Chains A and B, each alone.
Chain A
Amino acid sequence: MRALVIDDSRAMRRIVGGILAGFGFEVEQAGDGQQALDAMHAGFVPDLACIDWNMPVMDGLQYVSAVRSNPAWRSVTLMMVTTESEHGQIVRALAAGAHEYLIKPFTADAIGDKLSLLGLLPTEVTA
C-alpha cells in the first residue's frame, strides 16, 4: 500500500513516514497541499494520505476538498494529523471528506489504531 505524508515540517514527515514504513507502506512526502496534488497528478495516488492542517501555499482542509472533488481519487483514505483539536475544526475536516482525525502529539500505537479502524493495517505487519 502507498501513503502520502503531507506536512510542512520535515521532522514530522520523517516521523510519520517512518511509522508508516514500519507498517509496510511505501511512503512519499509533500511539504504542502499543492505539492501533494502535484504528486497525485503525476501518478502517485496513495491508499492513505496523512495531512497536516496548517501549511503554507495550500492547507490541509483545502487539500481534502480538492481530493474529494475529483472522482478519480475517491479511493484515497484521508487522515488529518494535526495540532488543530477544536471540536469545530474536527467537524469541518470530517465534513470536507476526511475519514479520520489524529491529534498531535501521537504515538506509533495511536497511528496503528487509526490504521486498524480504517482497515489499512496489514495484519502480519507490526511497527
Chain B
Amino acid sequence: MTAPPITELIDAGTVQGIADEVWVAMLGEDEFLVPLPAELPTETVSAWVSVSGPWNGAVVLTCAPATAEELTRFVLQAHPPELLENGDVTDAFGELANVLGGNVKSLLPGPSKLGLPEVGTTPSAGSPVDTCRVDAVWRGHPLSITVQGAAAPVHPERNEVPL
C-alpha cells in the first residue's frame, strides 16, 4: 500500500507544533521557534531520519553549522561535556532530528520504521508535492524543518540497451 503525498497527511502547523514541543523539552522551557520565513545561509548542515512504511521519506532539520553548535549547547546545557567536540554536535543535532522524526512518524500511516539519525548535506527530496516545509527562526537563527518524500529511485536497468 502506498500512502498519499505528505501534504495530504500532515500540514505545516502540525509540524510546527511538534517542533515547539521538542524545543521546549530539549532546549529549555523558554526556547521558542518563531514561524517566520527566513533565508537559510549558503552553508548549511542537515540532520535527518528516514521513515519507511506506507509513506517513505525523511524528516530533515537544516540550519547553519554555527546554529547546529548553538543548538547542541542548549541541548546539553544542563549536563554539558567539559569541551564541546564535533562529535557532540553531530550527536545532539542528530538526536533533535530523531525526536522530531519520531513524533512526525507517529502521525503518519503505519506501521512505519524510523531510521537512525544522520548528519550531513541535505538529502535530495522527491516531488515538491510530497514535501511539507516549516521555516522558522530560533534566537535569530534561521532554520527549516522539512518532511520530504524520498527521491525517485534510480533504475539503471532501464538505460540498458536491449539485446
Q: List A residues at the B interface (Cβ < 8 Å).
A: 8-12, 14-15, 17-18, 54-56, 82-86, 88-89, 103-107
Contact = CB atoms under 8 A, between A and B. Distances in A.
Interface residues of B, number: 31
Interface stretch (B97-105, B132-140, B152-160): B97-105
A84 B105 CA distance: 8
A107 B105 CA distance: 21
Contact of A54 (B87, B92, B111, B116): B116
A11 B92 contact: yes
Majority DSSP secondary structure for residues of B touching A: helix
Interface stretch (B35-43, B75-83, B121-129): B75-83
Nearest to A9: B95
Contact of B95 (A12, A86, A88): A12
A83 B79 contact: no
A104 B99 contact: yes
B92 A83 contact: no
A84 B26 contact: no
Given A12-B95, A105-B21, A56 B116 contact: yes
